[in-house]
Amino acid sequence: MTRDYKIIFTSVGEIASIPNSQDIYESLCKTLAEKGYKNLNRAEDNGGAFILSCVMPENTVLRPLLPLDFGKRKITSEDYPVLKKIKKIKYICNDLISCITGENFYTQVLENLSAEKWDVQNGILATSHGQINYNPEEYITSVRRLEKGMFVTKSERLIKTNNSRFQIFLKANLSNIEKLLCPGTRIDMGLYNIFEIESVKECYMLETKKGILISKYCPIDISKEIDIKNSYFRVGIQNGIKYIVEGSVLKPTRNFAGSYQENKKHQAKLNGRGYLLYI
């Protein structure tokens, strides 16, 4: 039986970048393979058993790629500072998700930011940032690395996460996922990219007519998987593999799935099975 899980994790020390979903996916597949499972990072072994979302700050969702429509609200010069804030939004706090489904979402955003009822900090739109533990800080430092048999010192950009908490959603039909990915499990992606799982909890996804895409999505037959006319989406490309971009707002059909993609020319793989957070 397929279940949805919410995984919370934090960084171990400094990191080079916020990992993307493919980085996390490959690391967790490796962890499961070490515990006796097949290599789920291969199309023939996965079979839809393991679908992962992108990385988001805890208690947030990606900003939906809806048209920046303010309805009949007239934009004046006084609104320009607020419009700059709106452009900086990357994530939306969970307590505002219900507003997305209503009409004129960005009109509400504009008016509430103007009235200082809502605010944008670190790219997150929220009514209060007290409930969000996300405060990354970038800085430049000297790092020694081994290159061609010699140690060299380079200036690199690193991120202090300041105990920021991240979340991913996992859809799996593995019955004992909580034991396999229990608190303390390392997500190791190399130097300056090590994380530790804080908690793994099963969650219930109530399916509705629309959802925000929180993973990369490679449709097998897009016309049969989503209602194109009533969806908003963008297309991206990674190592020669085309996909629907995270944050797209889709109206799925019963055939919504996506596929695992490989590009042998670029020696690249992409877990393009779609993951929707219904709204």
pLDDT tens-place string over residues 18-50:
888 888 888 888 888 887 776 666 655 555 568
Tens of pLDDT along 98-141?
888 777 889 999 999 999 999 999 999 999 877 789 999 999 98
What's the mean per-residue pLDDT of the chain? 88
- At residue 83's C-alpha, the angle toward residues 123 and 61, to 5°, is 30
pLDDT above 90 as % of the chain: 49
Nearest-Å Rg of the Cα atoms of the chain is: 20
pLDDT of residue 200: 93
Residue spans per domain, the chain: 61-131, 206-279
User: What's the whole-number mean pLDDT along residues 206-216?
Assistant: 92
Question: What's the pLDDT score for residue 38?
Answer: 67
Which amino acid appears at position 201 of this protein?
K
| pLDDT at 41 (0 to 100) | 61
Cβ neighbours around 274 below 10 Å, total: 25
pLDDT at residue 240 tops 80: yes
Contact 185, 31 (CB under 8 A): yes
Distance CA 242, CA 218 (A): 7
